A and B are shown apart, each in its own frame.
Chain A
Amino acid sequence: SAVISQKPSRDICQRGTSLTIQCQVDSQVTMMFWYRQQPGQSLTLIATANQGSEATYESGFVIDKFPISRPNLTFSTLTVSNMSPEDSSIYLCSGGQGAETQYFGPGTRLLVL
């Protein structure tokens, strides 16, 4: 298994600002992903964080809004740029080996005013 931590755990931000969320895995994993969970909703995949190359974004998500870095096999960041109240969500990262189990971080609870 993998233990995943995220920072910050929560934040309140003003519209128009940006927030960078960090995801740290306690072991090397091949796959890392970022998900969004809007209030009362299920999880939606934002992108696959690729080590050493540009992230792969799902339909409806773009790099300018959600830039992602993954400099090595244990760490990734997601930035939520130019935030609006509609970005208020829980952002979760996951890590795992291929199509085997993905383990999730505790999430970052973001409120945009």
Chain B
Amino acid sequence: GDSVTQMEGPVTLSEEAFLTINCTYTATGYPSLFWYVQYPGEGLQLLLKATKADDKGSNKGFEATYRKETTSFHLEKGSVQVSDSAVYFCALSDQGGGTSYGKLTFGQGTILTVHP
């Protein structure tokens, strides 16, 4: 079945540092890929997405590129802020139209803490 693996956390950075959170996936078809963010005490918010190979999703200074050859969707940000402290989830969605259609498979989540 489909699976998503995220880098182990937690990740602790100083403000303005560069962020990378690794995400790799296994899927039988051609999934859509997502990054969701969960701020303390809140639900999940979509951060960015990519629906096909070589697409780059971007939002709020975060970027991730859909790499089919390495089955990866790593999240990057050039300069993090204290307000970016949250849990980040990589996820995939099956586009194949079968019984898994539309369902999200999540990675284990990465806790990011940014210090001033």
**B78 interface residue per 8 A CB criterion:** no
Residues of chain A within 8 A of B62, CB atoms compared? none
In the complex, A52→B99 CA distance in Å? 18
In the assembled complex, the CB of B84 is this many whole angstroms from the nearest CB of chain A, namely 19
Q: Would you list which residues of chain A between 46 and 62 have a CB under 8 Å from chain B?
A: 48, 56
Residues of chain B within 8 A of A94, CB atoms compared? 104
Contact B108 A99 (CB under 8 A): no
29 contacts between A and B (CB under 8 A): A30-B102, A31-B102, A41-B109, A42-B89, A42-B106, A42-B109, A43-B44, A43-B89, A43-B104, A45-B103, A48-B102, A56-B99, A92-B44, A96-B102, A98-B101, A98-B102, A99-B32, A99-B95, A99-B101, A99-B102, A101-B49, A102-B93, A102-B104, A103-B46, A104-B36, A104-B43, A104-B45, A106-B42, A107-B43
Q: Would you list which residues of chain B between 50 and 89 have a CB under 8 Å from chain A?
A: 89
| Interface size counted on chain A using CB atoms at 8 A | 24
B 92-116 to A, binary, CB cutoff 8 A, 1 in contact else 0: 0111000101111111110000000
Residues of chain B within 8 A of A6, CB atoms compared? 43
Please list the residues of chain A having a beta carbon within 8 angstroms of any beta carbon in chain B: 6, 30-31, 33, 35, 41-43, 45, 48, 56, 92, 94, 96, 98-107
Residues of chain A within 8 A of B44, CB atoms compared? 43, 92, 104, 107
Contact of B94 among A42, A48, A99, A100 (CB under 8 A): A99
Contact of A106 among B43, B94, B101 (CB under 8 A): B43
**B34 interface residue per 8 A CB criterion:** yes
Contact A102 B102 (CB under 8 A): yes
